[in-house]
Amino acid sequence: EDQVTQSPEALRLQEGESSSLNCSYTVSGLRGLFWYRQDPGKGPEFLFTLYSAGEEKEKERLKATLTKKESFLHITAPKPEDSATYLCAVLGNTGGFKTIFGAGTRLFVKA
Amino acid sequence: SQTIHQWPATLVQPVGSPLSLECTVEGTSNPNLYWYRQAAGRGLQLLFYSVGIGQISSEVPQNLSASRPQDRQFILSSKKLLLSDSGFYLCAWSEGSQPQHFGDGTRLSIL
């Protein structure tokens, strides 16, 4: 059964304090690993897709990396506006187009 | 470009009343469509998904049903709402194995 576990559940940072969020996954044949950002009361906003181990994607202060068992979302010099819940999700070879989502990491960045 | 519309944004309904939430997608043809429910501070629970008109797959036995009367329209319904149906409902679309894109959600409160 495909599974996604995100850690930590919550992370509090000072502005400018870099850190990483973890996404551990188990999937039968990875077709894609996705990162999303979700603000309170809004739908998730797509950030990145990673397809194979060793791949990296960057957008502003965010960089996503992928290994065969984990993905990391690195946040460099975060700002208060980066505060949000970050969701990780995987799409495997079984289950058609069903994407499995983790419970998310709530990030709080204090000025 | 593609857009997704979901309404209403908030809804307060009495127990035992019917429900109809609508979602439409623009700018794409034959998308995969999804309904999720998200409990406070929790991950996304897939309720229904559809790969074509009239094709609905149910993931969780419950008081809800879904229909896809047109290619880019997805409707979530209930004949009689329960207190446990309260939550944040999200509609999403995707093309094949590409990442899903979400609407802004409906906050449903049952009194």
DSSP string, B66-82: EEEEETTEEEEEESS--
- Scan for tokens 């809804």, then name that residue: B11
- Mutation target for B interface from A33, A101, A108: give the one with most B CBs within 10 A: A101
CA–CA gap between residue A50 and residue A66 (Å, rounded) = 7
Q: Do B43 and A49 touch (CB under 8 A)?
A: no
pLDDT at B15 over 80: yes
Nearest to B1 by CA among B25, B23, B34: B25
Lay out the sheet containing B3-7: strands in order across.
B3-7, B19-26, B73-78, B65-70
Instruction: Give B22's Cβ-side CA count (13 Å radius).
Output: 7
CA–CA gap between residue A85 and residue A42 (Å, rounded) = 11
Res B97: pLDDT: 83
pLDDT at B61 over 70: no
Nearest to B43 among A34, A91, A102 (CB): A102
CA–CA gap between residue A99 and residue A82 (Å, rounded) = 25
Q: Do A97 and B44 touch (CB under 8 A)?
A: no
C-alpha B51: how far from its chain's center?
14
What is the amino acid identity at position A64? A
Tens of pLDDT along A36-90? Answer: 999 999 999 999 999 999 999 999 999 999 999 999 999 999 999 999 999 999 9
State the CB neighbour count (10 A cutoff) for residue A29: 9
